[in-house]
Each structure stands twice: as C-alpha cells, then as structure tokens.
Structure 1
C-alpha cells in the first residue's frame, strides 16, 4: 500500500501542475493524508483556526496590501517618481536609475514586489519606452529586478510570513533587511550604469536641479510614511501590525486630503483588489498551516535535521545548500509557498548548526524574491511582460546581468551575518 504521506505529496504536486492554487492543493493533500491515517479530518480545520487565531502578526499582511493599493490609486507614486527623477534622472541611463530609486522608496511603504511592479513600475516603463529611448524588454527587465527590493526593505510581507513560521521578531527582521536592500539597489544602479554606457542609452532630460526643492517638498508627505512606520515600531509606540494599519490610514489621508487624488470609485476598486489579494494569501497560509501539521506528524523537520547533521555540512555548507535549494525551488514555486512550506522543515537544522534565525530569514527572503524573476514561474516576469506586451525571451536576456549581480549580493548577505545584523544589534537584538 502506498504511504499516505507520499500519496499526499504526489497529490499536491499533481494539482499544482494542473494549475490549481498551491494553497488549495496543500489543503486537499492534507485532508487525504488525515483520512488515510484514520485521523479526524477536523484536525486540519482546528490547526488552521488555531494558527490564524494565534497569528496576530498576520493582520499586517492585508493591511500592507491595502496600503499599497491605496498608494497606487492615489498620486503618491507620481510625487515619488518626480522626486526620483529630479534626484538621479540627469545621468546616462537616468530613467534606469530612476527605476531603482523609485522602487527603493516605494518599497518602504508597500512591502510588496508585485505592488511595486504594477504601480510604480508601470509608470516608469511608460516613461522609459516613450520615444524609443529604451527597448521595452530592458524597461521590463530592470523594473522586475528592482521590484524585488520591495520585500527586503521594511515593511515586508514575506518577512511577516517568515516571522509566523520561525517565531522571530518582525521588528528585528525589518531592521535586518535595510542594509541588504540598500546593497541590492546600489549594485543594480551600478549594473544599469554599465549597461547604459555599453548600449549607448541616452542622457535623459532630467528635472533641473532648481526644481529639486519643489519636487522634494511635494514628495515629503509620502516620504514621511516609512519614517513614521519604522520610528513607531522601533520606538515602541506600535507593533508591526499596528504600523500596517497606520500605513493604510496614512496613505488614505494624504491621498484624499493633501493630494486630492482618490475618487470613491477608485477607493472601492482598491478595497476590492485588496480583498482578493488577501483571500489569495489567506488560502495559501491556511493550506500551509494544515500541511505543516502533516509534516510535523511525519517528523520531517527532525529527519531533515538528522540527515544534514550526518552529512556534516557545517554552517557554511548548510547555507550554500539552502541557497541552491531555494534558487531551484524558486523557479517553480511562489515565494509565499516557499517560506510557509520549506522554512519550517529547515528551522531545526539551522538552529542545531547555530545559525542566527534573523540572519537566516533575510537570506531566505532574498532567495524567495529572486524566484520572482527566474523562469519559468517568475511572477514578475509575467507582470512586466503583460505591461510591455513583450515576449518573455528578450526580457529574460536583459534580466541576466541583474540576476547575476543580485546573486553576488545574496552571497554577501549569506556569508556576512554581521553586515545583516548590524542594525538589529544597534536596536537591542542579542543574536
């Protein structure tokens, strides 16, 4: 007779390959496992309810999604884009640099790579391809690459998901993402500059320096959002979940009152879009909670930890193996599924090897974000291809230099834990 766990795994893989949601696939596989084992299937529902009830931090996810959607319907993106253009738009390949800087700023508000690509990215792509200054494939490639900085720089929805399964502090995870995110943005800006000179991209008509103060003044309300959020979290004024609520309320207030750019219909569409995105994430989390119960019953985490201990990899070898595993799985699995399914299996082994779990979280989130731009699944690839109406092949070719430099950044993040943990330790982290 086929082992119930093996059958559940095969069923999950088969449903996912047929195009079913990975969350629903995990729910179906978990129910089948429980039935074949003779357990009460209500255990799955109880596990999901307990996980969601105890996961107060999870409330941050729909609130950050709502904040990002409100920013996209308001004129926040336009104000931030003009500020970025005034700052770096005058250099060769300037709109590429604007793409990097605008993503870096927008990421401090939305926490979502998809929100960045759909909102800010769509505007920058239009600017880059206007008058044929940049090829559509290059505009799409750099937009996809820069968007992955969003979930590294706080706030970050993937960091919240990692905190859920690892039990680590969201605040310290947010702090640990700042320097790695800045490093990734810097390396992408350098890469864009090199490509711009090699391919003869134009020196764009940047906004004159005399207009920089005005552009900055217009952008200040939007630029203050990450300051308020991070200041509130690290000052002990609010929890990350409360900060997410503040982000959504602040985005709505400045969009409606200061910028006067949100209509009732636009707000309705934002609320509807946020509800749909939250439902999608919620199903994934529910499926992962049920499947994690199955994995725990089968002692998979302990078995993996024992296997890795027997291999005597050591911390460095383990981190190399995890990077390779995540880069491969990221080609076929969605980032949230990676963090919710694979991480609980790896945590015991990481702890046994003495690897700091906050540092480990940043490494895993960066890996998961790279999966958004690697074929064949890369979600951001499909988003930017739809925006530019370009085939995937030329976009992927233009993405190769950015993927290569981001892997270099990943290596620095992986093997320099003191670099990643510098800011958390300043804030009192004892790791």
Structure 2
C-alpha cells in the first residue's frame, strides 16, 4: 500500500506546479493525509485555530505591510530618495549606490523585500534609466539584489515567521539581522563600484554639501521611523507587534498632517492592497500550520535530525550542507514557504548540532532572500522585469555578480557567529 505521507507530498507538489498557492496546496495535502490515515479531518481545523490563537506575533505582518504601503503612496519614499542622492550620488555608479542605500533605509520601515522593490524600486529604476545613464537590465538587477536587504535589517516579516516556527524572540532576531544587513549593503556597494568603473557608468550630478542639511531636514520625519520603531522594541516600551502598529500609525500621520500627500481614495486603495497581501501570507501560514501537524505525526524532524547526526558532520560541514539545501530550494520555492515548511524540519537537527537558533534564523532568512533573485522562480526578478519590460535573461546576466557578492557575505554570516550575535548579546541575549 502506498504511504499516505508520500501521497500527500506528491499532491502538494502537483497542485503547486499547476499554479495553486502553496498554502492551499498544503491544506489539500494535509486533508488527504488525515483521510488516508483514518483520522478525523476536523483535526486540521483544530490545529489551525490553536496555531493562530497562540500567534499574537503574526499580527505584526499585516501592520508592517500597511506601513510600507502608506510610505509608498505618501511622499516619504521620494524624500528618502532625495536624501540618499545627496549623500552618495556623487560617487562612481552614483545611482547604483543610491539604490543600495535607499534600500537600507527603507528596510528599516517595511520589513519586506517585495515592498522595497515595488515602492522605492519603481522610482530609482526610472532615475537610473533616464537619459540612458544605465541599462534597464542593470537597473533591474541591482534593484532586485538591493531589495533582499529589506527582510534582514529590522523590522523583518520573514524574521517574524521564523520566530513563529522556531519559538525564538522576535526582538533578538531583529537585533541579529542589523549587522548582516549592513554587510550585504557593503558588498553590493563595492560590486556596484567595480562594475561602474568597468562599464563606465556615470556619477550622478553632485549635490553641494551645503544642500545636505536641507535634504536631511526634509527627510528627517521619515528617517525617524526606524528610530522610533526599534527604540520602542529594545527599550521594552512596545512589543514587536505593537511597534508594527505604531509604524503604520506614524507613517499615516506624517503623510497626512506633515507632508499632506495622501488622499482618502489612495488610502482606501492601500488598505485593500494591504489586505490582499496579508491574506496571501495568511493562507501560506494556515497551510503550514496544518501541514506541520502531518510532519509531526510522521516524526519527520526527529528522523531527519537522526540521519544528519549519523553522517558525523562537523558544525562547519553541517552548515555548508544546510546552506546548499536552502539555496537550492530557494530556486524553486518562495521564501515564506521555505521558512514555514522546511525550516521547522531542520530546527531539531540544528539544535542537536549545538548551533544557536538565533544565528541559524539569520542564516535561513538570508538564504531564503537569495532565493528571491535566483532563477527560475526569483520573485524579485519577475517584479523588476515587469517594471522595466526587460527579458529575464538580460536581468539574470546582470544580477550574477551581485549574487556572488551576497554569497560571500553569507559565508561570513554563516561561519562567524559572533558577528551575528554581537548586538543581541548587548541587549541581553544569553546564546
């Protein structure tokens, strides 16, 4: 007789290939497993309700999405971009540097790679391709690569998802992502400089240093958002979920009262778009909760942990294997699916190898974000291709140098745990 678990996995793969969302595919596979095993199918509903009832942290996800969408319809993104242009536009490959720096700043507000690419990405791609300064494919490539910083520097929606499945502190995970995110920005900036010199890309028109205070003043309200957000979390005034609500409220207040750049029609459209995005993520989470019950019943995490332990790998060898595994899965799976389906299976093996779970969380999220810019799935590649109307092969050709730079950063993140855990330990982490 065919194994029910194997049949459920086969159904999930087939439904996903045909275009059904991964979340719904996991639900269908879970129901098939329960029926074939003779269990009451209502167990799936029970597991789902219990998972959501205990998932207060999950409320942060739609709130961070809303905050990012409000910043996109207001003039916050434009002001931040002008500030970045004044700061680094004068260097060789200036608008490429502006692209990376703006992603660093915007990531401190949105927590989403897609929000970064769609929001700031549209604006900066337009600036880069104007007057033929940069090829559209290069503008698309560096925009997609820079957007991967968004979920690494806090706040981060993928970090919230990892905290859910690994039972770790969101605050410590946020702190752990700051240094790796800045490292990713640094290696991309260096790669942009090298490519700009090789391909003779221009510098942007230099903004006089005397104008920098003015540009900073115009953007200061937007620049204060990450300070308020992270200051509130690490001071203990608010939880990460409450901080997400504060971020959304702050973005709305300064957009309406200070910048006067949001109409009621635009705000309503933002609420609808945010609801659709949150619903899409919610279906994925719901599917993962029900499927995790199946995985638990089959004792898959313990079996995998036993198998990996039997290979007698060192920590270094184990981390190399895990990195390769997640990177390969990122080529065909969406990042959220990796964090909600694959990572929970790996966590027991990670613990058995004595690897810190906060450190591993950063490794897993960085790997998942790299999957967003690797073909054939590469969600960020599709987004920037639609913005620039460029063929995928041209964007892939230009993004490979940035993928290699990010892999170098991933090596440091993976094999120098103190680099990742330094900031969390400063705020009380005992790992």
TM range (shorter): over 0.9
With structure 1 as the length reference, what TM-score do the two structures score?
A: 1.00
Corresponding residue of 1:267: 267
Counterpart position of 1:3: 3
1:93 equivalenced with 2:93 (yes/no): yes
Once superposed, what is the RMSD of the aligned Cα atoms? 0.5
The residue that corresponds to 1:289 in the other structure is: 289
SS in structure 2 of the partner of residue 152 of structure 1: coil
2: CA distance, partners of 1:370 / 1:254: 33
Paired with 2:149 and 2:201, the residues of 1 have a C-alpha distance of 24
Specify the alignment match of 1:406 in structure 2.
Answer: 406
**What's 2:378 paired with?**
378
SS of the equivalent of 1:206 reads: coil
**Residue 314 of structure 1, CA deviation:** 2.3
**1:25-424 → structure 2 map (5 Å cutoff):** 25-424=25-424
Provide the secondary structure at the position in 2 that maps to 1:430.
coil
Gaps of 5+ in 1: none
Q: What whole-Å deviation, never above 9, does each CA across 1:23-63 have from its counterpart, x for those lacking one?
A: 00000000000000000001001101110110110000000
Q: Secondary structure at the match of 2:262?
A: coil
Aligned residues between the structures: 431
Q: Distance in 1 between matches of 2:76 and 2:427?
A: 30
| TM score, norm. by length of structure 2 | 1.00
Shift of 1:204: 1.5
How far residue 318 of structure 1 moved from its aligned partner, in angstroms, is: 1.2
Aligned with 2:223: secondary structure?
helix
Distance 2:319 2:46 in 1: 34
- Within 2, Cα distance between the matches of 1:69 and 1:151? 15
- How far off its partner does 1:235 sit? 0.3
What do the CA deviations read for 1:252-278 (whole angstroms, capped 9, x no partner)? 001111110000011011100000001
* Unaligned stretches of 5+ residues in structure 2: none
Displacement of 1:207 after TM fit? 2.2
SS in 1 for 2:253: helix
Cα distance in 2 for partners of 1:317, 1:358 equals 19
Shift of residue 400, structure 1, vs aligned partner: 0.5
* Runs (4+) off by over 6 Å: none
Deviations 1:82-108 (A, max 9, x none): 000000001111000000000000000
Whole-angstrom distance in 2 between the partners of 1:50 and 1:298 = 20
Deviation at 1:208, TM superposition (A): 2.1
CA deviations on 1:349-391 (whole Å, 9 max, x unpaired) are: 1111110000000000000000000000000000000000000
Q: Distance in 2 between matches of 1:116 and 1:339?
A: 20
1: CA distance between counterparts of 2:68 and 2:42? 36
Shift of residue 19 of structure 1?
Answer: 0.8
CA offset at residue 211 of structure 1?
1.1
Q: Specify the SS of the correspondent of 1:380.
A: helix
Q: Quote the Cα distance in structure 2 between the aligned partners of 1:204 and 1:162.
A: 39
- Cα deviations across residues 315-362 of structure 1 (Å, max 9, x unaligned)? 111111110001000000000000000111001011111100000000
Q: Secondary structure at the match of 1:227?
A: helix
* Separation in structure 1 between the aligned mates of residue 242 and residue 16 of structure 2, nearest angstrom: 35
TM superposition shift of 1:226: 0.5
User: Distance in 2 between the 1:208 and 1:369 partners?
Assistant: 36
